[in-house]
Amino acid sequence: MPWHGPDPAAGTTAVAAGVAADGGALVPIALTVNGDRVTVAVPPARTLVELLREVLGLVGTKQGCDAGDCGACTVLVDDEPVLSCLTLAVAVDGRRVETVEALARGGRLAPLQEAFVRHGAAQCGFCTPGMLMTASALLRRTARPDRDEVRHALAGNLCRCTGYVKIVDAVVAAGEASAAPAAGEAGAAPAAGEEPR
């Protein structure tokens, strides 16, 4: 068995050894995936989505068209959304990769994921990991995006179920919620007529 999955205890992933199935040389790479250091040797043509799903077992990232058309495979590399089906694993050597598995913490959904649930933005769910990662990148650089900014950011992510309106609703709501001052902070006083909680 040439490949080994992540070792949660060590926070690292073991290196594979040997040669590719076609007899070609493997290329050693080292990267960070969802905060864990990963060192692995890959065939030169292995894509990032294959590395994530087939080697590291991170199957939250979806492999849809495998041709750069659907956005289902979107992950973050150094905070920027990339199509992992069009990205070679060797191209992320030394870089920081985040997948949808990184969003929920301690068994709790991230606010963006909660907004997707609240607004009915996930139906079959196949597009959802890619949508979430693209939207996460948007929310990191634009605290409170408007609907046009959300639509523009998500233009490369296709959804066959929702008609997009609920997805845009969810991302806008998540931005508004994260930009709103927390209860008790300056400016968070109840509006006139509103009962304090």
What is the binding site for ligand FES (CB under 6 A)?
63-66, 68-73, 83, 85, 122-128, 159-162
Q: For residues 10 and 165, which CB has a smaller minimum distance to ligand FES in the complex? A: 165
Per the rule left: phi > 0, alpha: psi between -120 and 50, beta: everything else, 11 is left
Least distance in Å: CB of 135 to ligand FES? 13
Show the tokens assigned to 124.
């079959």
Least distance in Å: CB of 163 to ligand FES? 9
Q: For residues 127 and 132, which CB has a smaller minimum distance to ligand FES in the complex? A: 127
Q: For residues 40 and 121, which CB has a smaller minimum distance to ligand FES in the complex? A: 121
Q: Tell me if residue 179 falls in helix, strand or coil.
A: helix
Q: For residues 120 and 181, which CB has a smaller minimum distance to ligand FES in the complex? A: 120
Least distance in Å: CB of 181 to ligand FES? 32
Least distance in Å: CB of 35 to ligand FES? 23
Q: For residues 99 and 128, which CB has a smaller minimum distance to ligand FES in the complex? A: 128
- What CA–CA distance (Å, rounded) separates 63 from 66? 6
Residues 6+ apart with CB under 8 A from 42: 16, 26, 27, 29, 51, 55, 89, 90
Q: For residues 11 and 120, which CB has a smaller minimum distance to ligand FES in the complex? A: 120
List Cα–Cα distances, 2 to 17, 26, 34, 76, in angstroms.
6, 11, 23, 27
- What CA–CA distance (Å, rounded) separates 63 from 70? 9
| Distance between first and last Cα of the chain | 58
Least distance in Å: CB of 81 to ligand FES? 11
Residues 6+ apart with CB under 8 A from 47: 84, 85, 86, 87, 88, 89
Least distance in Å: CB of 26 to ligand FES? 24
